[in-house]
Every structure is written in structure tokens, then in C-alpha cells.
Amino acid sequence: MKYMNIGTSGVKASRVALGVMRIDTKSPEEAATIVRTALDAGIDYFDTADCYHGGESSRVLGRALKELGIDRASIGIQTKVGIYRDPASDQITRYDFSAKHLIQAVDQELKNLQTDYVDYLLLHRPDTLVELDQLAEAFNTMQTSGKVRHFGVSNVNPMQVELLQSGISQKLDVNQIQFGLGHTGMVQQEFHVNMIDDSSLDHDGGLISYSRLKHMTIQAWSPFQTGFFEGVFIDNPKFPDLNDCLQKIAEQHGVSKSAIAVAWILRHPAGMQVLLGSMTPSRITEMAAGADVDLTAQEWYDLYLSAGNDLP
């Protein structure tokens, strides 16, 4: 496993992290095995959110870490807040960046995770009704109390980062964004500059270049998904060229296709971190191996093209 610095915070973490959104259905024994497998693979950074199944994902993670006797200082824990899910309907009814909601959400997450602090707190999605003075109050309170050490965002574009950053003294170090061979929009637009085809449309405000300039770490979520949760591309007959290319390169490097898909993300000089979502121990081990694969530039481009993209 290779390690990296998160943003400019000085926090060092594995280049592959484990997201635990789907760990809520696992028994205590299964959850402990999942966490132990990740740790054995060199993964020392875990991502969750307060809205994942009513906080159950965080509770299961916290219990597993406690039962395994993991030294809290040896790992990074990150959570996300700001989405309000109505407990009666289980539907998302608003985004809420008010100081009261954020502070209460973090306090509950600390209980769920059985820890005194989180290394990173991310605002889960943009709240267009955000009051910057409320946000500043929340961040200052959480940082001063020691409950949150560093901050970031998720699914936010550059101008939204600029707006949020203008109201707070803490640096936003992370942006968690969907990215992978099945979701390449952020790089498609970089190639199709000054063109009028669909790939030239800038949906993200130049996220990759902006993040590099601001030294923000992009955390790539759902790295194996196509579209927005439309299915994985690995071994999917809808993507024969991509799977053929993945297999060829995987054989050359002596790893699985999943590892190559991870290596493709990590090859980008933006210095991204990949968030795995698998709850299958053997798959976690396979995927994590991608952190130790160094793809050539040509291999990166071959995979990009095999995924159905073009170069103008």
C-alpha cells in the first residue's frame, strides 16, 4: 500500500480507503472481518456518513474497531454530515448547514463511531440556503472542542468551494466526487476544450484543475460504477472493450482487473484517493492491490479510450 498526504493538513493516509455505507447489514463478526481485511491490506482510512442507514453504518464500524482493539491514533476516520433524512419516511427532505444541525450531527456520529474525534468532517452535498456565519460558528465550535480536526466537502463544484471557503477560517482540504473509468466526465471536458460536442460541456467547473491548484484531495467514490449507480463495469458484457483492456493490463502487472481500475484513478497526478465500497473481504484485498501498480501513461490512455471515450 502506498500512502499520501490529505490536502495540506499533514494527515497521511492510505491511497485506498474503505467506505462503509453498506456495512450496516453485516453481523459483528462479518464487520470485524471486513475491517481487519482492510487493515491487513494497508488501508488505514475509513469513510462514513450520518445519513447512511440512520447512522447504523457508523455504529457498525465503530463497534468493529472497538472489538478489534484498534489504536485510534493509528487510523483515520472521516464522516459526512449536512443531509437531513426524515426518520418517519426515510426520505431526504433537505440539506442543512445550520450550526445547530451540523453540531448535533457530529455529536451523534462521535457516539456512533465510539470516538472522541474525527480526522475529517465533510459537508455531504451543497446547501444552497447555507448561511456562512452559521457555518463558521459550527466549524469553529467543532474545531475548538477537538471533535473535528480537519474539514472538506463532497459533491461540490469549485465556485461552491470558493463561497464556503470565504466564510470560514479552516481550509477545505477534500472534495469527495464520483470518478472512475465508468464516470470520466471530469477528464473528458479537459480534452474537449473549445469544441461543441457533448463531451465539451463543463458540468463540474474544472474540478480537477481547480483541485490541483488549491491542493485539495479528490476522493473518488463509486470507482467501479457506470453513471450514477447504474451498475459496475467490471465483467459487465456491456463494456467488452474496457474489460478486454483491463484484463490485458492486469495480466501484465499480475493483479486483478479491479486493481487496474483503481490504479487508473491513482495514476492521475492530481493525487486522488480511492474510496472502496465493497464489503467482500477478498474483493477488498484485490482492489487495494491497485495502489501498488504504476501504470504507464499509454496504459492510462488505452484504458480511457477502451471505456468509450475519444481523443479529439
Residue 126's pLDDT is what? 95
Count of structural domains within the chain? 1
| Residue 5 φ then ψ, to 5° | -90, 135
Q: Tell me how far apart the alpha carbons of residues 214 and 101 are, in angstroms, rounded to a whole number.
A: 28
- Distance between CA 84 and CA 96 in Å, rounded? 6
Average confidence (pLDDT) over 252-276: 98
**89-135 residue pLDDT tens:** 888 999 999 999 999 999 999 999 999 999 999 999 999 999 999 99
Residue 89's pLDDT is 86
pLDDT exceeds cutoff 90 at 156: yes
Q: Is residue 200 part of a domain?
A: yes
In-domain check, residue 195:
yes
Percent of the chain topping pLDDT 90: 91
Closest CA to 161 of 104, 119, 113, 123: 123
Query: Is 112 within the bounds of a domain?
Result: yes
Place of cell 471505456: 307
Beta strands in the chain (DSSP E): 3-6, 11-14, 16-19, 45-47, 76-81, 83-85, 92-95, 118-123, 148-154, 172-178, 217-221, 273-276
Q: What is the pLDDT of residue 217?
A: 98
Domain-embedded: residue 247: yes
In a domain, 312, yes or no: no
Q: Which residues pair with 12 in a beta bridge?
A: 5
What confidence tens digit (pLDDT) does each residue in 199-222 have?
888 888 899 999 999 999 999 999
Rounded Cα gap, residues 113 and 124, in angstroms? 18
Confidence (pTM): 0.95
What is the tens place of the pLDDT at every residue in 50-89? 999 889 999 999 999 999 999 999 999 999 999 998 888 8
Q: What is the pLDDT of residues 94-104, one digit of tens each?
A: 999 999 999 99
Give me the amino acid identity at 299: E
Which CATH number is 92's domain given? 3.20.20.100
Cβ(82)–Cβ(139) under 8 Å? no
Check pLDDT > 90 for residue 289.
yes
Which range marks the domain in which residue 109 is found?
Answer: 3-7+11-306
Q: Is there a domain that residue 171 lies in? A: yes
On whether residue 181 sits in a domain, the answer given is yes
Is 311 a member of any domain? no
